Amino acid sequence: MRQPVEILIEQYKSNIYAIAFNVCKNVQDAEDVVQDTFIQYISLKKDFETEQHMRAWLIRVAINKAKNKNTTFFRRHALPLEDYMETLTFESSESSELFETVMKLAEKYRIAIHLFYYEDYSINEIADILKISVSNVKVRLSRGRMLLRETLKEGWEDDE
């Protein structure tokens, strides 16, 4: 199965961008990752078994490219999270607070939480995408939730 790149861009551009930003925390780097991911798809000439396999491949490539961006010596100056937050719209202040808290998590927890809650991947699918064991995905999700709970609980207790 192979789809035209125009269709893939339309379907997955925003998801890949969200994942790339999740890792890079930088608008320009995330945009570069999106472009590089689709360029790699064009040059690969590989047939995929299913649409889910293609989507998982795109996400895996995007995560790898975003991690590579983070390790380059000449990494661009990152847009502070506060500046980026001003460009986003949220349904409520709680949604905004949750997003900001998730973005402050360590990368391994942040990616697992994003794939599970925002991309609706199962634990098995996340394990395949990240090339880690199912139990490791469960641990990352559990620890990520625990960190979110602690951080958000502290904020609520401070408000009282």
Contact yes or no for 112/137 (Cβ under 8 A): yes
**Does one domain contain both 71 and 103?**
no
Which one of 16, 44, 79 terminates a domain?
79
Nearest of 106, 103, 115, 102 to residue 148 by alpha carbon: 102
Angle, vertex CA 106, rays to CA 138 and CA 147, nearest 5: 65
**Does one domain contain both 106 and 131?**
yes
**Does one domain contain both 46 and 112?**
no
We report the CATH number of the domain holding residue 12 as: 1.10.1740.10
In sequence order, what are the residues at sequence separation of 6 or more whose Cβ sits closer than 8 angstroms to the Cβ of residue 78?
A: 24, 25, 26, 29
Domain span including residue 110: 80-160
Question: How many structural domains are present in the chain?
Answer: 2
* Interval 65-114: pLDDT, tens: 998 887 765 554 445 555 555 556 667 777 777 777 888 889 899 999 98
**Does one domain contain both 47 and 15?**
yes
User: What global pTM score does this model have?
Assistant: 0.60
* Interval 114-142: pLDDT, tens: 889 878 899 999 999 899 999 999 999 99
**Does one domain contain both 60 and 94?**
no
How many CB atoms are closer than 10 A to CB 25? 20
Look up residue 41 and give its two tokens. Answer: 């798809």
